[in-house]
Amino acid sequence: MLSLILIRKNEYLTKICRHLKIDLGAYFLLIISQIILSLPIMFFNNKSTNLSDKTNHYIDNYWLLIIALLISPIIEEKLFREYLWKKVLMKHIKNIYISALLSSMLFSLAHLSLNFLPFVGNGLVFCWVYHKTNSIINNIFLHFIYNTSLVTLALFLMN
């Protein structure tokens, strides 16, 4: 009986380590895709977007910050990855790449931003993580960490 418990515990720890490795790789992919896919906007957009103004908007209204950091990752991952991608698009399209791209494009459109490509890239990374881990909780955690790091970076750059 004890050996069975130890085997289960070892399997669980192995699964957690595997998910953490995937998350770490995905986190760096998110950052790299954000940088690379934002380059066209930085070069071709004549309007300057003031990062401190956007961040101040969130800081001044702490409810927006809570929504952006805590609630958005839950809603977005449940909607775009678990429901739309896995349950709708994969069922009807049957091609993992096309369905991931469509889900990611809708994810990007939902953000109502000129930064369409970076959000598509992020959506593709989140689809990859969900495909590899089959855990929406894992995706929500990664999405939360990513959003939090972006807000933290913006606050750091403001000072």
31 within some domain: yes
pTM of the predicted model as reported, rounded to 2 decimal places: 0.81
46 assigned to some structural domain: no
Identify the CA nearest to 135 among candidates 26, 16, 14, 27: 16
Tokens 């955690």 — which residue?
141
Tally of domains within the chain: 1
CA-closest candidate to residue 72, choices 40, 15, 112: 112
The torsion angles phi and psi of 145, rounded to 5 degrees, stand at: -60, -45
* CA distance linking residue 39 with residue 145, whole number of Å: 23
Q: What is the pLDDT along the chain (159 residues), one digit of tens a residue?
A: 666 565 676 787 788 888 889 999 999 999 998 888 888 777 776 554 555 556 666 667 778 888 888 999 999 999 999 999 999 998 999 899 999 999 999 999 999 887 899 999 999 999 999 999 999 999 999 999 999 998 888 878 776
Place of tokens 């939902």: 110
Could you tell me the residue range of the domain that residue 10 belongs to?
A: 2-41+51-158
